[in-house]
Every structure is written in structure tokens, then in C-alpha cells.
A and B are shown apart, each in its own frame.
Chain A
């Protein structure tokens, strides 16, 4: 890595990590003080120790029939299935919409219509149509993930410099080849942005999806715990969801750095 005076030397990265670490430490310390020294009610703010204990308990034994990891696993399974399906469908459809006007004319109004709807508004319908098992949940997450990827892809095509497309044609590429060999790679940065948004939206929708007739899932666990005012379990659930979210985002960002090495550079 070379030092770039406009962005600062890479060595400062370490300093930034330290700042992040310190922030987390301060929050943890404040939490500890609030619950232990100023003795906040454990209902509103369970102490870090009790949350840790709850965490160990539901890791080793179970919460309502499943361990924490099984809850998390079934949630992630739904999310990943829906996310994967939305990537393989929304990317080609979004790119095609950006490239071929009539495809856009068909799909854009549909997506523009349902995208701003709150997922719970149509979830009941999905349950009625597809049953209360996994299918309706995966479908809900799929719809949530689909829109951001589609929109990102469609606008990515618009942003490709005309001459990059013309150049391919002038070198002898046919329209289909331009799509596969120029438009797709050019859209990669935006595809990744869309995927990150989609995963975020999907993750938020997860809790909603697990509200109806689920028996497992990290979202369900939190909702169930709140029925019994088990604040410690709620905390465990929220922390696990937060950390998992960060990790998933990291994975996509690593993939992005690998597949889009030219991002932010002049080419």
C-alpha cells in the first residue's frame, strides 16, 4: 500500500480501529455502571452479567425448544435463501431494465408500487396465499431484498459512459455480448451497493416475518421473550442480531473489494 497524502497514510488505520474499540468500551462501561452502581431496574436495563449468563444458558441449553444457534441458524437460512434468490433474479432483470426500455416499462411500475409498502401490510396476504410455513416468510424477505438490488442495477446501467458501450460494439461485440461482457462488470460496484442495502432491509424484515406463527428464529426469540418480559433474552437477541448484521455486511464488502478492485480509482 502506498501513502496517499490526500487520504492519509494507511498506518492511521490502526488508530481508527483503536477509536472504534474505545467507543465500544465506553458504552460497555456506561452500561455496567448504570446497572450495577446506579442500580437501574433489571426489567429496563438488565446488567451485562445477567445478559452474559442468559447468553451462555441459551447457547448450552435451549430457549423454547431450540438453542440460540439453532434460532440464529433458522433465521439466517431464511434470509440467505431469500437473499440468494433475489440476487440471481434482480440482477439480470435490473440490468436488462436499464438496457432495454420495454423491459423497464413492464417491471418498474410494479416494483415502484410495492417497494414503499410496509412489509407487514402485505405479509398477511402472503400467509393467506402461501401458508404459515417457511414459504411465506422467505417470500416476504425475497420481496424486501429484490427491490433495492433491482433499482441499483437499473440505475447502474444508466450511469455507464455511452462510449464504453459503443466501444464494445465498434470492436465487434453483439448486443448480447455487450450485456454480459461490459454492462454486467461495469454494474458490479452498484450491484454490491444494492446487495448491501438488500441485506440490511432483509434483516430488518426478518423480525416481522417471524412474528406470525413461527416457532424458531432469532426474531421470534426476541418477540417471544418480550411477551414474558425477559429483558436479558431480548438483549442477547439484539446483540447477536447486531453482530451478525455487521459480519454479513463485512462479507459483502470483502467480496466487493475482491471483485471490484478498480472502485474509486481512475481508469
Chain B
């Protein structure tokens, strides 16, 4: 296969012709309390069905806050979020959020943690078992199915949390720095896994990361936020998701002019914090 082929924009990844599934409209978020801080300011974003959006931005700019609002955990102080045209009024498993720190239940084994969601939704026993096994296998934890969270390493916990978020195959998956505690090798494996799942199930993903390479490896679109108050300062259609395979061939892609240029542009934008399109 011609390696440069993946670098040209491919309509397969440019999904603006798909219906808008999530619409974030002039979102404002101000936390109460003594030091009331404007966290999100006038943030708008339309997410099309089947997109894989990676959100980049400096620490404390409101990325986690944004996901909490989209998940229906926090009520915004201004603006609105709609899913399929209907305003979001609360939490819902169709928009699963994987939290920044793994929130596994310590009394449940890895298996039972992953099975938690399907069981709560009263999925038939056999179906639960099939799914949970499949997803534990995918994150490489079959052997540790019976282990309790305190018997797992930090990275393993994160993989259980990942399996737990994916197991219900929700239409929108929100992930807050899901690969933070993983070593480079496992990280790449998980990136490949999540990308394959996205391809296969055509779900919509919003993933926060502070790693530009991760964003470029995964996203169909990269969104850059400014320092607090977080606003949208840049958007890039990234087409590298396809050619990156988690093998040595990646190096060639990452050395290509187009990749380097895009990477530079994104880093500059995060660095200066001020977008040209303010």
C-alpha cells in the first residue's frame, strides 16, 4: 500500500454530511462558590454522527467540565446541549462518560465492574456474560476477571474502566484522558482498540487528551480549547487515524511533512492560547 495515500484527506473521515448528533450551543459554565470562575465561555460545537473528536487544551481550561455538561451531570449556566435535537436533561447510558480517574467499585471484581452497566439495565444474563468476556479480552484482562480493583495496577484499573465504558456500546462515548496512566506500549494497544471499536460500531466519540500525537492518531477532528475561560480556538480535520496502525510504519507517517505541519500548528495554537478565529 502506498504510504502517502493515508495522508490525503479522505471523504470517509469527513462526516459533515452525517446528521448532527450532539450540538453544543454557546455553552457557558461558571462554578459557584466564593471564587466564582468562568470556566467555559461561549463554547459551540456540532458533533456529527460517527465522528471521533479529540479535545486538546491547557490544564484547567474546562475540558472535564465540558464533558460533564455533555454527559448531563452538570447543568450549564448558559447555552445548551442537545442530543438528536432534544435538550439533555440528565445522565443517560446512551452517553457514557469515562471519568478522568477510574471510578471502579472496590467490592466488585473486574468482571462484575464491567458487568455493572448491563446488569443495571437488566440485560439477559447470557448476553451480559458474552459481552463482558469479549470486552475483558479486548483490553487484555481475561486472566484478571476475578481480581478486585485493589489487586490491579493503575493501568489495569484504567483498562477495566475502559471496558466498562465500552461494554454497553453506547452511541456517544465521552472519555476524559482515558489513557493517562498507561505505558507507551499498552497505550498504543488501547488506541488501536478504541479506534477499531469506533470503526466497527460507528459510534460517536469525544476524547480529551493532552497528547497531540494521541489526538492525531485517533481523531477524525481535533478541537483545540484556549486557557480558562475555555473557548474553542481551533479545529482541524485530522486524517491520520487510518494509516496509524500501532506498528513501526507509524514512524513514516509521523515523519511526513503534512503530519509535522499539522502537529506544529496545533501546538502553536495551544501555546499561544489565543485563536485567530476568536
User: What is the interface of chain A, defined by CB distance below 8 A to chain B?
Assistant: 161, 163-164, 166-174, 177, 181-182, 185-186, 188, 260-262, 265-267
Contact = CB atoms under 8 A, between A and B. Distances in A.
Chain B contact residues: helix, strand, loop or mixed: loop
29 contacts: A164-B105, A166-B71, A166-B73, A166-B91, A166-B99, A167-B97, A167-B99, A168-B116, A170-B93, A170-B95, A170-B96, A171-B93, A171-B96, A171-B120, A171-B168, A172-B93, A172-B118, A172-B120, A173-B116, A173-B117, A173-B120, A185-B105, A185-B107, A186-B105, A265-B150, A267-B106, A267-B149, A267-B150, A267-B157
Contacts of A164: 103, 105
Interface residues of B, number: 27
Contacts of A265: 106, 150
B63 to A, nearest CB: 15
A170 B105 contact: no
Interface of B: 71, 73, 90-93, 95-97, 99, 101, 103-107, 116-118, 120-121, 148-150, 157, 164, 168
Contacts of A181: 116, 120
A140 B120 CA distance: 40
B116 A262 contact: no
Contacts of A167: 97, 99, 103
5 closest A-B pairs by beta carbon, nearest first, are A172-B93, A171-B117, A262-B106, A267-B106, A265-B150
A190 to B, nearest CB: 14
B71 A170 contact: yes
B3 to A, nearest CB: 40
Contacts, number: 68
Nearest to A165: B103
Nearest to A167: B103
A182 B105 contact: yes
Contact of A171 (B101, B106, B148, B164): B164
B60 to A, nearest CB: 18
Contact of A262 (B99, B107, B117): B107
A258 to B, nearest CB: 12
Contacts of B101: 163
Given A164-B103, A167-B103, A172 B168 contact: yes
Contacts of B105: 164, 182, 185-186
Which of A164, A171, A188: most chain B Cβ within 10 A?
A171
A57 to B, nearest CB: 49
Contacts of A186: 105
B103 A161 contact: yes
Given A261-B148, A262-B106, A262-B148, A170 B120 contact: no
Nearest to A265: B150
Contacts of A166: 71, 73, 91, 97, 99
A266 B99 CA distance: 17
Contact of B97 (A161, A170, A188): A170
A181 B113 CA distance: 11
Contacts of B106: 262, 265, 267
A185 B154 CA distance: 22
B88 to A, nearest CB: 12
Nearest to B174: A170
A156 B96 CA distance: 26
B149 A177 contact: no
Contacts of B168: 171-172
Nearest to B107: A185
A265 B173 CA distance: 30
Contacts of B121: 172
Which of A163, A164, A188, A265: most chain B Cβ within 10 A?
A163
Contacts of A161: 103
Contacts of A267: 104, 106, 148-150, 157
Contacts of B95: 170
A163 B103 contact: yes
Contacts of A174: 120
A56 to B, nearest CB: 47
Contacts of B91: 166, 169-170
Nearest to B123: A172
Nearest to B101: A163
Contacts of B148: 261-262, 267
A261 B103 CA distance: 17
A182 B116 CA distance: 10
A266 B116 contact: no
A171 B115 CA distance: 10
A191 to B, nearest CB: 13
A177 B116 CA distance: 11
Nearest to B116: A171
Given A169-B90, A172-B118, A267-B157, 9 more contacts: A161-B103, A166-B73, A167-B97, A168-B120, A171-B168, A172-B120, A185-B107, A186-B105, A266-B150
